[in-house]
Structure 1
Amino acid sequence: MSAQKKRMEWVWVLILAVVTAGIALGLFFKSDKDAHGEEKDHEHSEKEKESKTADEHEHSEGEGEHDETEESEEAIKMSATQATEQGIQFAQVDEGKISATQRYPAKIVSNLDQQAHISSGYAGRVEQVNVVLGQSVKKGQVIATIYAPDLIEQQANLDIAVQNLALAKQDYLREKTLFDQGVSAKQDYLRAQNGFKRAEIEVQALQSKFKALGLRVHAQGRYAISSPIDGVVSKKDLVVGEYVQMTDQLVTIDQTGRLWLEFILPSNVIVRPQQKINFQSLQSDVISQAVVKRILPEADTTTGQLKIQAEVSDSSVILKPNVMVNVWLASNNDEVVVPRVAKSAVQQVEGKAVVFVVQEKEGQLQFTPQPVDLGATSSDQKWIEVKSGLTQKQRYVTQGSFVLKSEMEKSEAGHAH
């Protein structure tokens, strides 16, 4: 019985070993299969990545072709009739002379030949001021009123002289009557006549002085300062209550529209009287013109260079005394022949200078913005040098380029939406 029991135990041990070995073999084959599956999955993943990369590359090439199509679509198309209605004009790129010009600082000043410096004819206290800086005044308009003690004394002397004249006239008429009647001596008559003439001359002299100073006979010590010209009050040193002297310059009046352009003459520039020069205010893009009038006889105290004065030809509200401007001057007399376009053709698009070129396709005009590299500007500000971007005889828009720029911006805004 005991032997049989031992055999059963060995049978169970053998069965357990077989089962364990089977389980181990199963796990081994499963691990190998999983590893093989992962390798396949990795290869499949790599193939998918390569396929995706190829697709993206093809897509990017497609986008590049699309971008090129869009760039070609930047061109604005219209018929010749539409271009004419929009005021668009074009010409061919040609060669022309452009002087080498440079900008130099300058300043607008008042024309001293058309300026009035006003002072008081009497020392006294300011009672009234009738003008402010920048105000337009007419000739004879009262600017201020001064209370002058000396004027009271002069008016008193005039009153006394008038009374003396009246007495001298009475004495003269009485002596003349007596002389005519043979009662008075001729000597007395002549004495009375001379006294009357002297009194008359004294009154006339005082009245002429009052008239020359613009005084009223019964002004009661008040002196009215008047403007001698039509113009604008550019300076005023006049306050109610202050005491002024005869030598004080109280008001400066400039004639409107008469301004000078002043600048220091560069050593490498030659200008001549009556030469026309262009200048531009720092606050505006407007080009103005002036005519050289004189080269001052004395050099500038700071630089030792000569100073030029030119009369401003244009009248503009922007141009005021002391406004800083830039003046264009040719650095030498040599002119170079270069490819050039009209300055009106140049527009700024995304910070770059462009010129709209013209092509004719399928019966329509096609306008395309062409970036250009620009050089010097002509002295008359009408032409500008083209260093690159355009070729000889190429047609471009000379007038109406701003209209095309606006149309292009509208089109881009539509695509953005």
Structure 2
Amino acid sequence: MTQPTQQRTQISQSIMIGGVVTLVALIAAILLWSNKPTEQQKDIASTPETQAKDDHDEGKELALTSKQMAEQGVKLAVVAMGNVQQIESYPAKLMVNTDRQAHVSSSFSGRVEAVHVNLGQTVKKGQALATLRVPDLVDQQANLRIAEANLTLTQQDYQREQSLWSQGISAKQDYQRAYNAYQQAQVQVQAARSRLAAFGVGGNSHGQYVLTAPIAGVVSSKDIVIGENVQLASQLFVIDQLDQLWLEFVLPTDYLSRISPNQELEFKSLQTGNRFKARVQTLNAQADEQTGRLLVRAQVLSQAAELRPNLMVNIELQQTQQSQVIRVLKSAVQQVEGQDSIFIAQPHGDKIEFMPQTVSLGALSTDGQWVEVKQGLKIGQSYVGEGSFLLKSELEKGEADHGH
């Protein structure tokens, strides 16, 4: 190739390279310009709403003055160690106090003529319960009348012999004989009357025997109907005094050191949820061989119409004293974004700032007042004990406003 031809070729290559470089530079400039925000976009990005949203994303905070806190009922508390006491429940049963119960039975065999009370009826001491016709009673009352008639005759004989002996007409031995007969007749009458009185009947009942209430109370059992024949000592009525009931329950043997006579306990009705008090009376000296449990009997101290024999209740006993844990008031816990949270309080100028702190909770006290905090808080931190729901509402309201 000649010299002029080589020069022309080099010139053409230089022009092509220069064109390519120029084209690349032009494309880069166009791309850079298209990615640069406009002035309008800059204005939108810097609006107060957008800035507030950015600030909110950095941390959720609320602030109140002392006056505002007092007006809104927001009260502070301090994270501290304490007990989260829990209650254990055991089934129990209300029982009749057998020391205040009467079993009424007949002292004779006989036929029922009348029943004067109904099951569940309240009776007074001495009130008639039922009337029986008793053949044996007829015989005993007849014996009393015979003894009384014999007493009248022997008395007349004695008085006559006494008069004759005082006049010197009759011998002393006749007078003595009449006196002895009179004394025996008196004893026989007294014995017959005492026998009837022991059964609670008189001499003129004509074979009728009236069962009466030995105590005042409620007829809790009744096993008698008109026309039936009852046997001697058959239990016909049970009368209970329901103003003082017993509470019976069983406990594991490890409770022996935690319960003692005269200790007051609480029990709860399963029907109404109402709580009542009782005082421990007795504990069995030995545990049951099969269950290893102790039978405990307590006297019910509360008076209520709903407390009736055979009612099932729950006895409530405090658990063994546990080690202290970090605890807060249960009223302080709120759900923030689906997590348990406590509003931490920090001074900031003339205001108090509040920030929700996610926590991990543990046991809750049975009375619902305290809750254990396993993670998330430190001892000595100030938190919102009352009024945290208000802060949660304000926080959610702010989030809603930012959403718009």
TM-score (norm: length of structure 1): 0.63
1:15 is aligned to none
Given residue 206 of structure 1, which amino acid in structure 2 is its aligned partner?
A: A
1:266 is aligned to 252
1:246 equivalent to 2:196? Answer no
Question: Structure 1: 5+ residue runs without aligned partners?
Answer: 1-61, 66-71, 73-77, 364-369, 399-403, 409-417
The range that moved more, 90-99 or 174-183, is 90-99
SS at match of 1:269: helix
Rounded to whole Å, the distance in 2 between the matches of 1:209 and 1:337 is 73
Rounded to whole Å, the distance in 1 between the matches of 2:372 and 2:208 is 70
Given residue 134 of structure 1, which amino acid in structure 2 is its aligned partner?
A: G
1:124 equivalent to 2:114? Answer no
Counterpart among 218, 223, 239 of residue 237 in structure 1: 223
Counterpart among 298, 302, 305 of residue 314 in structure 1: 302
Aligned pairs for 1:181-192 within 5 A = 181-192=167-178
In structure 2, do the counterparts of structure 1 residues 243 and 183 end up closer, same or farther at CA, with 3 Å as the change threshold? same
8 Å Cα contact 2:84-2:372 kept in structure 1: no
Rounded to whole Å, the distance in 2 between the matches of 1:282 and 1:346 is 30
Deviations 1:366-412 (A, max 9, x none): xxxx999673546xx685544579977645469xxxxx9xxx9xxxx
1:328 is aligned to 316
1:150 equivalent to 2:114? Answer no
1:114 is aligned to 100
The range that moved more, 242-251 or 97-106, is 97-106
In structure 2, do the counterparts of structure 1 residues 193 and 279 end up closer, same or farther at CA, with 3 Å as the change threshold? same
In structure 2, do the counterparts of structure 1 residues 99 and 371 end up closer, same or farther at CA, with 3 Å as the change threshold? closer
SS at match of 2:102: strand
1:276 equivalent to 2:264? Answer yes
Deviations 1:277-324 (A, max 9, x none): 211111121111111111235655863533111111111112111111
SS at match of 2:89: strand
Superposition deviation, residue 200 in structure 1: 1.0
8 Å Cα contact 1:373-1:388 kept in structure 2: yes
Given residue 256 of structure 1, which amino acid in structure 2 is its aligned partner?
A: L
Rounded to whole Å, the distance in 2 between the matches of 1:260 and 1:357 is 49
Deviations 1:180-234 (A, max 9, x none): 1111111111111111111112212222232232213211111111111121112
Given residue 283 of structure 1, which amino acid in structure 2 is its aligned partner?
A: Q
Given residue 311 of structure 2, which amino acid in structure 1 is its aligned partner?
A: V
In structure 2, do the counterparts of structure 1 residues 339 and 253 end up closer, same or farther at CA, with 3 Å as the change threshold? farther
Given residue 210 of structure 1, which amino acid in structure 2 is its aligned partner?
A: L
SS at match of 1:156: helix
Superposition deviation, residue 337 in structure 1: 2.5
Determine what percentage of the aligned residue pairs are the same residue: 40
The root-mean-square deviation of aligned C-alpha atoms, in Å, is 4.5
SS at match of 2:273: coil
In structure 2, do the counterparts of structure 1 residues 316 and 170 end up closer, same or farther at CA, with 3 Å as the change threshold? same
1:294 is aligned to 282
Rounded to whole Å, the distance in 2 between the matches of 1:89 and 1:161 is 93
SS at match of 2:323: strand
1:52 is aligned to none
Given residue 252 of structure 1, which amino acid in structure 2 is its aligned partner?
A: V
Deviations 1:54-97 (A, max 9, x none): xxxxxxxx9xx9xxxxxx9xxxxx996998xxxx9998776544
The range that moved more, 236-245 or 383-392, is 383-392
Question: Structure 2: 5+ residue runs without aligned partners?
Answer: 1-52, 57-61, 63-67, 352-357, 394-404
1:31 is aligned to none
In structure 2, do the counterparts of structure 1 residues 300 and 212 end up closer, same or farther at CA, with 3 Å as the change threshold? farther
Given residue 307 of structure 2, which amino acid in structure 1 is its aligned partner?
A: L
TM-score (norm: length of structure 2): 0.65
Given residue 309 of structure 1, which amino acid in structure 2 is its aligned partner?
A: R
Aligned length: 317
2:211 is aligned to 225
8 Å Cα contact 2:242-2:308 kept in structure 1: no
2:324 is aligned to 337
Rounded to whole Å, the distance in 1 between the matches of 2:137 and 2:125 is 24
Aligned pairs for 1:18-417 within 5 A = 95-98=81-84, 101-270=87-256, 271-297=259-285, 300=288, 303=291, 305-330=293-318, 332=320, 334-338=321-325, 375=363, 377=365, 385-387=371-373, 394=383, 396=385
In structure 2, do the counterparts of structure 1 residues 266 and 247 end up closer, same or farther at CA, with 3 Å as the change threshold? same
Rounded to whole Å, the distance in 2 between the matches of 1:390 and 1:319 is 46
Given residue 226 of structure 1, which amino acid in structure 2 is its aligned partner?
A: T
8 Å Cα contact 1:374-1:384 kept in structure 2: no
8 Å Cα contact 1:268-1:331 kept in structure 2: no
Given residue 375 of structure 1, which amino acid in structure 2 is its aligned partner?
A: A
